[in-house]
Structure formats: structure tokens, C-alpha cells
Amino acid sequence: MAETVTVELFGSLRRHAGGAATVQVEAATIRDLLKGLGAAYPGLAPQLKRGVSVSIDGKIYTEAMFQPISPENEVVLLPRIAGG
């Protein structure tokens, strides 16, 4: 059941979302979240296509599309994390 979650955007994405540091999206999973963001803020689409990670309560998810999200979670959008 999708509820409204608050997502924090990193700085350079904010101007593509009306300048706000946080936006609200209906989402029950990471997949819903990314779909919803892309639909509501087309300016975010290039970054979403390049890849993002999502932090839920401090734990960073890079692949898990079906990871549940609820309104109580702290949700932060990040560039896709890689490593050496």
C-alpha cells in the first residue's frame, strides 16, 4: 500500500525539483519511489538513468528495487555508489 514518503535530494538535483531539498512521493518500494520521482520531476530523469543509490535509515541500497519504504523512514537519494 503506497503511502507518501519524504525523499531528500542531494544539492545538484534540487534545481530540477523546484529547488526543494525534500520532495514527497507516493511509494511503497524503491521502485515506486524512482518511478514517482521521474514522473513528477522530469528534470531528474537523466540522473535516475545514470544510476542512483537510495539510503533508507542510513543503509544504502544500490540494486534492491523492491526494498519496502514507509513514511517513517529517512529516505535520501544518492548518486550510484561504486568502488575500487
Partner 1 sequence: MAFDEYDSENRIFNAVGTRPVRPDGIDKVTGRAMFGADMSAPGMLWGAVLRSPHAHARIKSINTSKAEALSQVKGVVTRADFNADADEQDVLDNCMAGEKVLYDGHALAAVAATSRRAAEKALRLIEVEYEVLPHVTDVDEAMQPSAPVLRDVGGDESVPDGLSKNVMSMCEFGHGDIEKGFAEADLVMEKSFKTAAAHQGYIEPHACLASLGADGRGELWVCTQGHFYIRNLCADIIGIDSTQLRVVASEIGGGFGGKTTVFIEPLALALSRKTNRPVKIMMNRSEVFRATGPTSSTSMDIKIGMKKDGTMTAGLAVNRFQGGAYPGAPVDMGAMCSFACYALENVSSVGYDVICNRPKQAAYRAPGSPMAAFAVESVIDMMCQELDLDPVEVRLKNASKEGTKASYGPRWPRIGLIETLEAAKNHPQYSAPLGPNQGRGIACGFWFNHGGETSVSLALSQDGTVALSVGTPDIGGSRASMCLMAAEELGIPYEKVRTTVVDTASLGYNDVSHGSRVTYASGLATIKAARDAKQKLCGRAAKIWGIPEDAVVWEDGMAKPAGHNAGQHEPLSFAELCGDMGQTGGPISGHFEATPEGAGVSFATHLVDAEVDPETGATRVTRYTVCQDAGKAIHPSYVEGQFQGGAAQGIGWALNEEYVYGEDGRLQNAGFLDYRIPVASDLPMIDCEIVEVPNPGHPYGVRGVGETSIVPPLAAIANAVSRAAGVRMTELPMSPPRILKALKDQDG
Backbone angles phi, psi at 58, to 5 degrees: 90, -10
Q: Which one of 4, 6, 60, 71 is in contact with partner 1 (CB under 8 A)?
A: 60
- Counting contacts by CB under 8 A, is residue 29 touching partner 1? no
- Counting contacts by CB under 8 A, is residue 59 touching partner 1? yes
Residues that bind partner 1 in the complex, under the rule CB under 8 A: 8, 10-12, 16, 21, 43, 46-47, 55, 57-64, 67, 74, 76-79, 81-84
